Amino acid sequence: MMRNSLFVVGVFTLALGVAPACATKKFVRTSVGEVNDKVGTMGKSLEETQERVRTAEGRIVEVDSKAAAAADSASKANAAAAAAASKAAEVGTTAERRAAGIEAETRKLIFTTVLSEDRGQFKLGKAELPEDATAAIDNMVNTLKADKKAVWVEIEGHTDNVGDAKYNESLGLLRAEAVKRYLYEKHQVPLHKINVISYGEEKPVAPNNTRDGRAQNRRVVIKVLA
């Protein structure tokens, strides 16, 4: 009887020892499973995040491409507009010159006044209007006022051939502009009735190989048309 009791006690003791071990293994399996689930969930979330990042990057590239295309189109549009404006200005200038030429051709030359150095006017390399020149202009205007005709004035600037041709063209224009300004400020001749042009050294009236010839070529010619 006692031997049976000892057997029962041994079995119970063994059961107590085995039971915790089984419980521990089950707990570990459960914990590992939960961790694996969490890792799986986090991995899936990471993949979804990466996919969203790739999608966003693709959209950014697309937007940048569209912005670059829009900037290029705007640049081309601006260039086209500038070219059109330049062409319009060119056409307008050409039309204005043609109109002035037609108007000049339809008018009749009344008389011509020449302001040149051989008469004590323009000096070498100078554009200032000398006193003798202003006196000649005053006489011309007084004649026009007495005649009471509607007139149109052409002013030509000329030089000798000393120096650079481009400089001479500019100098001739300055001389013609000086006469134009005097007509406007002193005698109130309307600016729209005055046309100015420079021929520089292109149209000499005397040889440039003599001092007197060069003096004659440094001149402003005023043509009055009606």
pLDDT digits (tens, 9 = 90+) for 190-208: 999 999 999 999 999 999 9
CA distance 62 to 130: 72
Range of the domain at 42: 34-106
- The answer to the question of residue 13 being in a domain is no
- Number of folded domains in the chain? 2
Instruction: Choose the final residue of a domain: 106, 134, 159.
Output: 106
Identify the sign of the CA torsion 172, 174, 177, 178: negative
- The answer to the question of residue 26 being in a domain is no
For 112-121, 175-184, 216-225, which range has the lowest pLDDT when averaged over its residues? 112-121
- The answer to the question of residue 164 being in a domain is yes
Q: Which of 222, 131, 219 is nearest to 175 (CA)?
A: 219
Instruction: Choose the final residue of a domain: 71, 106, 141.
Output: 106
* pLDDT score recorded for residue 132: 79
- The answer to the question of residue 40 being in a domain is yes
Burial tier of 41 (Cβ tally within 10 Å: 0-12, 13-18, 19+): exposed
Q: Are 107 and 225 in contact (CB under 8 A)?
A: yes
Q: Which residue has the higher pLDDT, 11 or 141?
A: 141
User: Does the pLDDT value for residue 117 go beyond 80?
Assistant: no
- The answer to the question of residue 23 being in a domain is no
> Is the domain of 65 the same as that of 163?
no
How confident is the model over 152-201, as pLDDT tens digits? 999 999 999 998 999 999 999 998 999 999 999 999 999 999 999 999 99
* pLDDT score recorded for residue 8: 44
Q: Are 113 and 222 in contact (CB under 8 A)?
A: yes
> Is the domain of 165 the same as that of 72?
no
Instruction: Choose the final residue of a domain: 49, 74, 106.
Output: 106
Q: Which residues contact 171 (CB under 8 A, 6 or more apart)?
A: 125, 127, 157, 159, 198, 200
> Is the domain of 86 the same as that of 135?
no
In the chain, DSSP assigns E strands to: 109-116, 152-158, 194-200, 219-225
